[in-house]
A and B are shown apart, each in its own frame.
Chain A
Amino acid sequence: MGTLELDGVTKVFPDGDGEVVAVDDVDIEMRDGEFLVVVGPSGCGKSTTLRMVAGLETISSGEIRLTGKHINDVKPQHRDIAMVFQSYALYPHMTVRENMAFGLEESTDLSDDEIDERVTDATGTMGIAELLDRKPSDLSGGQRQRVALGRAIVRDPEVFLMDEPLSNLDAKLRSEMRTELQRLQDELDVTTMYVTHDQTEAMTMGDRIAILDAGELQQVATPLECYHEPANRFVAGFIGDPSMNFFDVRRDGDTLVGSVFDYPLSASTLDDVGDVTDLILGIRPEDISLAGDATGEHTFSTVAEVVEPMGDENTVYIRFEDAPEGETFIATVGGLQQVAAGDEITVEIPEKTIHLFDGTTGKAVHNRELDE
């Protein structure tokens, strides 16, 4: 168990004559026992970050400290970390028992009996005791996943590194393993860095989420902070499904002027905006509600173009009455509310739920209010 600190970590890959910055000056501090999910779109540098912590990639600049110790130049085999790979990377010529014992045999001086005991313990935890003498080729995907986790657990390392470990499982098994992983991490209390592109995993599993885009760290915060108080437009758009709606607007006095709608702001919101005039208005689909008539200052007449019933809720693609066809935004409304494609509906965009971002930098200038 240990703390993990990334301090200005940068990775530059040579690319022909030039170079590509894969990870740009990333600072992350992980508490002892924390579950940190690193999330971002493909190619954002999240896997590279993890591999630098593992020692599988060199660090171009910056520093990585494990429990206070500088480990930049420590070889992977001496870092006291265990890693779970997306492909599991089980050794095909070894049985489950040998796979799990391998790390202990190579990295510790434990006797065979002690190793055997720890392997047996770990298989008990993972519920794979009956698989011990099978080869990986005789296991199902879910079983391999468990063995791969067991192989990490048995090492009892300072840090677990997991590189999209659930992405090869089918949806049902994935959500099962998600719960199980959380339970396991809670029980073992080992500092865990977990890389995924799946924002559901990020939201549900992590103590905190680190969101990366184009190699740059966007925000490190708890899942709910990321959701309700995104640091910038990227985070706001990445976290949440369906994602937040954005409208380019210009501030004119105390009103936001969009291409087809005007949105008056109250004094307290205007305080947050300051003197920025180019803005982006963000609103989450579930914060848009159906209203009786368009008399309020934050109600708008719209047309529903497409309705996707999900059972518990309907995802409705709507457009402002004056907007050209196809220029829609998304609202989710309760599953029992009858909305059909082509309906003219009135929606309310409450002021206390809106987010405002700086149009040029993307930084959040105003986030929604939360009821305490």
Chain B
Amino acid sequence: MTRNTDTGGDSGDAVADGGVTENPNGSGFSPIAALNDRFGSDFVESSQFWLPPFLLVGLFVYGAIIWNLLISLTDFNSFGSPDYSDLDFEMYARALADSAFVDAAVNTFVLLVGFTLVTLALGLGLAILVDRNIRFENTLRTIYLLPMSLSFVVTAQFWAWMFNFNNGVINIVISSLGFGRVDWLGNPDIVLWAVMFALMWQFAGYAMVVYLAGLRAIPNEHYEAAKVDGASTIRMYWRVIIPQLKGSTISASVVLMVFALKAFDFLYSLVGGYRPPNGVDILATKMVREAYQANEWAYASAIAIALFLMALGIVGPYLYYQYTRGNL
């Protein structure tokens, strides 16, 4: 707390928590020294290295987000330029009153949670099976991971074929087994689950690899100690092994959730347009439709902000978790 003596003197307005106060009475007050004092001794000297990227990222990422927020507060639509003189939350009110928005938000949320949980569970199951010293382990691992390497466009296209009502392989199989054909993509009650399944097919391999890495980090002795301690195989996994996969679960689910939010490309490719099948409209598709079909710029911006908040809601806790563990 030496700084209090050289800036504050005995004028008494130096704050006790160590913060820097504006101190008009102080003699020799220097802004550079104050900055260095506050942020670390090299703050000003090192700024030539970190300041340019800092400003660029600030402008193009955070600046764009703020601009987007501003547009969402205007009534900007069709051609022309936004009018920033009249800012209100009208677009957000409109969104809440718009049942299509609410549906899309619910779908986004269901997709997010459902897809993530199912994919994690499947990935964990695969990882545990692959980790049990089986034959052809590397081959199987590659096979399971392969869908991950395909582009969304490819997977969407061939799941569109698989789900095809008349000629799709799934309907051919189930009708040959004596069941009726299912309109996978046309029935609004089913289509969300069909899309979720296709996404799960693509990402279960990723979850498996993350879990496999986590499992490999657990020493063999833990399995053996649990067995000698009297635990059955299921109890061993439940009480000793899976709890140690907390880190893998958290990092895999953040990636999966972010992918679920971005399922736009998958849905776009599924139908080749902005309008996904009824029942699977999500915020991302609705946002693009409002912007580029309806030219409702302000309304689309409001939807974008809603999507942004959802993403923040996912990444924020993760960053906080990493921060508390000292990883940031």
Contacts and interface: CB of A to CB of B under 8 A. Distances in A.
B244 A77 contact: no
A81 interface: yes
Pairs A-B, 10 closest by C-beta atoms:
A107-B230, A89-B221, A103-B229, A89-B225, A106-B230, A106-B231, A76-B227, A77-B230, A93-B243, A83-B228
Interface in B225-258: 225-232, 235, 239-240, 243-244, 246
B31 interface: no
Interface string A81-107: 111011111011100000000110011
A76 B240 contact: no
B211 to A, nearest CB: 16
10 contacts: A77-B231, A83-B224, A88-B221, A89-B221, A91-B240, A102-B229, A106-B230, A106-B231, A107-B230, A151-B229
- Chain B contact-residue range equals 10 to 19
A77 B239 contact: no
A75 interface: yes
Interface of B: 219, 221-222, 224-232, 235, 239-240, 243-244, 246
B235 A85 contact: no
B227 A77 contact: yes
A107 B226 CA distance: 10
Contacts of B225: 83, 85, 89, 91
A89 B230 contact: no
A86 B221 CA distance: 9
Nearest to B235: A106
Nearest to A93: B243
Contact of A89 (B224, B232, B243): B224
B239 A89 contact: no
Contacts of A106: 226, 229-232, 235, 239
A341 interface: no
Contacts of B230: 77-78, 103, 106-108
A87 B221 contact: yes
Given A88-B221, A91-B240, 13 more contacts: A54-B228, A56-B227, A83-B224, A83-B225, A87-B221, A91-B226, A93-B244, A102-B231, A106-B230, A106-B235, A107-B230, A155-B229, A161-B228
A91 B240 CA distance: 7
A106 B244 CA distance: 18
A81 B229 CA distance: 8
A93 B246 contact: yes
A81 B228 contact: yes
Given A85-B221, A89-B222, A91-B222, A75 B246 contact: no
Interface centre among A56, A88, A108, by most chain B C-beta atoms within 10 angstroms, is A56
A55 B230 CA distance: 12
A111 to B, nearest CB: 16
Interface residues of A, number: 27
Contacts of A77: 227-232
A56 B229 contact: no
A77 B223 CA distance: 11
A155 B225 CA distance: 13
Nearest to A85: B221
A78 B239 CA distance: 18
A88 B224 CA distance: 11
Nearest to A84: B225
Interface centre among B219, B221, B229, by most chain A C-beta atoms within 10 angstroms, is B229
Contacts of A155: 229
B320 to A, nearest CB: 20
Nearest to B246: A93
A194 to B, nearest CB: 16
B219 A76 contact: no
Interface centre among A54, A55, A89, A155, by most chain B C-beta atoms within 10 angstroms, is A89
Contacts of B232: 77, 106
Interface string A154-175: 0100000100000000000000
Nearest to B222: A89
Nearest to A75: B227
B221 A107 contact: no
B246 to A, nearest CB: 7
Interface in A106-129: 106-108
Nearest to A77: B230
Contacts of B229: 77, 82, 102-103, 106-107, 151, 155
B228 A87 contact: no
Given A85-B221, A87-B219, A102 B239 contact: yes
Contacts of A83: 224-225, 228
A89 B219 contact: yes
Nearest to A79: B228
B228 A56 contact: yes
B244 A92 contact: yes
Nearest to B228: A83
Contacts of B226: 91, 102, 106
A274 to B, nearest CB: 49
A93 B244 CA distance: 6
A135 to B, nearest CB: 12
Contacts of A55: 227-228
A77 to B, nearest CB: 4
A108 B229 CA distance: 10
A92 B219 CA distance: 11
A55 B227 CA distance: 9
A132 B190 CA distance: 52
A83 B224 CA distance: 9
A85 B224 contact: yes
B281 to A, nearest CB: 41
A205 B229 CA distance: 25
Interface centre among B219, B228, B235, by most chain A C-beta atoms within 10 angstroms, is B228
A54 B230 CA distance: 11
Nearest to B240: A91
A82 B227 CA distance: 10
Nearest to A98: B239
Contacts of A54: 224, 228
A347 to B, nearest CB: 49
B328 to A, nearest CB: 20
A89 B222 CA distance: 5
